[in-house]
Amino acid sequence: MAHAPVVSELTRLGGCATRAQLLHVASGRRIRRAVGAGAVVRVRRGRYALPFVDEHRRVAHHLTAVLSHLSAAVAHGWGVKTAPTSPWVTVRRHRRLSLQDREGVVVVWCDLEAAEIAAGVTSPVRTVLECARRLPFDEALAVADSALRAQDVTSGELRTAADALRGPGAPQARRVARHASGLAANPFESVLRAIVLDLFDGSGVKVTPQLPVWDHGLWARVDLGVERLHLALEAEGFAAHSSRSDLVRDCHRYTELAVWGWTVLRFSWEDVMLHPEYVRWAILGWLARREGRPVSAPPRRSAS
């Protein structure tokens, strides 16, 4: 199918991607054809999504609601860990909905701003924080990173709004706001960082996205770095090695990092998104070997 590369890449990126990301797998003409055929939706300039975003808009309109949470994140053009299978909507407080209307829809009640009602979607800051309240840390961090990367919110706005939150989910939202970074290139890198942050939580070890590494004769940038441990973690996307020269460049980079005393652990999309237990085992195993402790066998992976 002519649209398959575009649709597959959008699916891998959680249902939303930038034009630059899609150009790694398809030409501009093929992207335009996918939009014209309805296989892809252009949600804003340079940002594309799978058609479910329009279906979610129709559900929200039917319920006199606004898109929120993951549905709002995709409508804003942000990448997410996994595209939502059900619409997420928010309705005004005290509004009644029948069980039939709510079937297959995630509904939240709260006060809405007039601008949100007019736009049909929760504001960027509310979207990030509501995701942070309700979603697992890795999913919420992917949303927050994407919002910062798109420059739809700032770190200051997120932290200020998170500090003002009260009630269920407020501590989780503050944690997401504290760690969110627009430096992560995509949800793949965000989820990898979330796994690492969970492992080092409370230890004082700093985990830095897109860490520049330099020494006498060395300059490199790694997807995720723990400078104190000289540990680099790479989220290895297939599109990153689209040419022979890309492969040679990365071989040189990994070799030079090793020569200068850095350990590089490389993880595929499948490792991070489908088998996080393997990522945790690899990092903890490396730490154990570093400290002279025994290492357990790697976890078995079910067929993907």
Query: CA-to-CA distance for 288 and 296, rounded, in angstroms?
Result: 9
Query: CA-to-CA distance for 155 and 161, rounded, in angstroms?
Result: 10
Q: What domains appear along the chain, each with residue ranges and CATH number?
A: 1-49 (no CATH), 51-179 (no CATH), 187-290 (3.40.960.10)
Instruction: Tell me, yes or no, if the pTM score tops 0.85.
Output: yes
Q: At what angle do helices 187-200 and 276-290 cross, to 10 degrees?
A: 50
Q: Which of 238, 189, 303 is nearest to 9 (CA)?
A: 238
Q: What percent of the chain has pLDDT over 70?
A: 96
Q: What percent of the chain has pLDDT over 90?
A: 62
The tokens of 237 are what? 């996307």
Choose the weakest-confidence range: 53-67, 128-142, 238-252, 281-295. Answer: 238-252
pLDDT at residue 50, as a whole number: 84
**In 19-173, which ranges are E strands?**
41-44, 47-49, 66-67, 88-92, 106-110
pLDDT at residue 1, as a whole number: 61
Q: Is the pLDDT of residue 303 over 70?
A: no
